[in-house]
Structure 1
Amino acid sequence: MDSRGHGRSTRNADPFSYDRMASDVIALMDDLTVSKAAVIGWSDGAIIGLKLVIANPGRVSRLFAFAANSDPSGIYDLSDSRMFENYSQRTRDEYEKLSPTPVEYDDFLEQMEKMWGSQPNITKSDLRNLEHPIWVAAGDHDEIVRRTDTLFIAENIPGAGLLIQPEVSHFSHLQNPHDFTQDLFRFLRAH
């Protein structure tokens, strides 16, 4: 699914939050009468997956969380990042093609930046209470999420798997979709 304000999903003036986006997932699952699901998330989607399993453990059977951070300090300063500038241009182009509000990208980005600057706030205690099959994954050249934060998440979830994919970055699913998909299927078959 597209998160609030992403892709073809709508948004309103309410501030973005990972908790709100996780509640959107639950609302969609309820609408589709899906009682429990395996969750696969990338970047913000991985954070939403963690929020789902923390707040609604009965609704998630397992979680593959690729490139999540636990709090804002878990990401690098991207203000001078040429890579992130290129990514932002790509997201702008896609937003303008897909969004029901195609001329409001700057407002959308401002809402996202406010969220990224103050969230998530996932604690060691939140992670230690999880009992689901979870793989915490990242690219070995992730230029957005600090490896120390990836390790913090994996080390504090009891029994979590840690997967560091070689020769890829935060954008592993685009850089090496074959290996990304094979790892994902390996996780799903194992649980």
Structure 2
Amino acid sequence: MHQYLDVNQSGAGEPIRLHYRSDGDRTHPCLVLSNSLGTDLHMWHAQVARLASGFYIVRYDTRGHGRSTSGSEPCAIEDLGRDVIALLDHLEIAQAAFCGISMGGLTGQWLGYQHPQRFTQLVLANTAARIGSSEAWLARAKQVREAGMEAVADGAAGRWFSPEFIAREGSMVARMVHTLRSQDANAYATCCEALAQADLRSTAAQITVPTLVIAGESDPVTTVADGRWLQQQIAAARLATVPASHLSNIEAEQAFTALLREFLLD
């Protein structure tokens, strides 16, 4: 069932309409799932299928993605984090585990040091305290605003998945790329600009929530070295790797989900 929450923007303008779905029994521990740039909540299908029997799973479309709106104001990683807190408040969930991938992992890092009391565990997948460079993100934002999503979508498969996975699971890859190609260019650019500003290297050591960092062994975007840096900074963190590229929860879904389940039940 599609559900929506209106979240006020930090500046003027219409509220953000946040789209979310819930699966499982509300009496079970809550797990929040946060998607990567250019995807939507459907990227977590395999994890929901395997974990909903033991967890109350809340997955949402990051603002500007899927069925969530982006609003008229610029946004920052702080806004993406506050959306999660607003969602937990709306659902009257005092504490939850959080799993975010790539951009969702940056959101998780912000939540981990700003609202540690709200989270039992963090899973930071295929992410870094600083992803890419400000110049590169601003250039991508400019590109999609001027020319649309085609150029970004054309190269997405190679950034997201290994060549072996692309050859083996072509139809799934095509669906993911179609989702990206259908993204609103301005909303995508707004999130690129948020990533241009997002630098959490100075606050990583302040995270006290038990944390699992998952890295893809062939990820060219956020490397194993990036994951190891996070693990070394966060006192209560462990690092695991899976045989995958950037969207490891899809490419290595069984290994990823097994790690997630083991960590959450530990």
State whether TM-score is above 0.5: yes
Q: Deviations over 1:80-114 (max 9, x none)?
A: 99642666x86673267xxxxx7x72212221222
TM-score by length of 2: 0.60
Gaps spanning 5+ residues in structure 1: where? Answer: 97-101
Identical-residue share of aligned pairs (%): 25
Alignment-derived partner of residue 107 in structure 1: 186
Asked if 1:57 corresponds to 2:113, the answer is: no
What do residues 36-56 of structure 1 show as CA deviations (whole Å, max 9, x unaligned)? 110011111111111111111
- The match for 1:69 among 114, 128, 133 is 128
**In the alignment, residue 169 of structure 1 is paired with which amino acid?**
S
Q: Which of these residues, 220, 228, 246, is aligned with residue 151 of structure 1?
A: 228
Q: Tell whether the 8 Å contact from 2:123 to 2:214 is kept in structure 1 after alignment.
A: yes
Q: Could you say which structure has the larger radius of gyration?
A: 2
Residue in 2 that maps onto 1:99: none
Partner amino acid, structure 2, of 1:159: A
**Amino acid in the other structure paired with 1:43:** S
Q: Which runs of 5+ in 2 are unaligned?
A: 1-59, 141-150, 161-173
Contact in 1 for aligned 2:95/2:117 (Cα 8 Å): yes
State how far apart, in whole Å, the 2-side matches of 1:69 and 1:130 are: 14
Note the 1:113-152 alignment, pairs <5 A.
Answer: 113-116=192-195, 118-124=196-202, 126-152=203-229
Q: 1:72 to 1:58 in 2, by over 3 A?
A: same
Corresponding residue of 2:250 = 174
Q: 1:91 to 1:5 in 2, by over 3 A?
A: farther
The answer (yes or no) to whether the contact 1:3–1:21 under 8 Å persists in 2 is yes
Measure, in 1, the Cα distance between the counterparts of 2:260 and 2:114: 24
Alpha-carbon distance in 2 for matches of 1:164, 1:119: 27
**Does the aligned pair in 1 maintain the 2:63–2:70 contact within 8 Å?**
yes
Q: RMSD across aligned C-alpha pairs, in angstroms?
A: 2.8
Distance 2:97 2:250 in 1: 22
Query: Residue 74 of structure 1 contacts residue 149 of structure 1 at CA under 8 Å; is this kept in 2?
Result: no
Q: Which has the higher contact order (CA 8 A, sep 6+)?
A: 1
Q: Is the 8 A contact 1:21 1:48 kept in 2?
A: yes
Q: Does 2:156 correspond to 1:84?
A: yes
TM-score (norm: length of structure 1): 0.82
2:101 aligns with one of 31, 35, 42: 42
CA contact (8 A) 1:38 1:62 kept: yes
Q: Give aligned pairs, total.
A: 180
Alpha-carbon contact 2:212-2:238 (below 8 Å) kept: yes
Q: Is the 8 A contact 1:74 1:146 kept in 2?
A: no
Distance in 2 (CA, whole Å) between partners of 1:24 and 1:16 is: 11
Higher strand residue share: 2
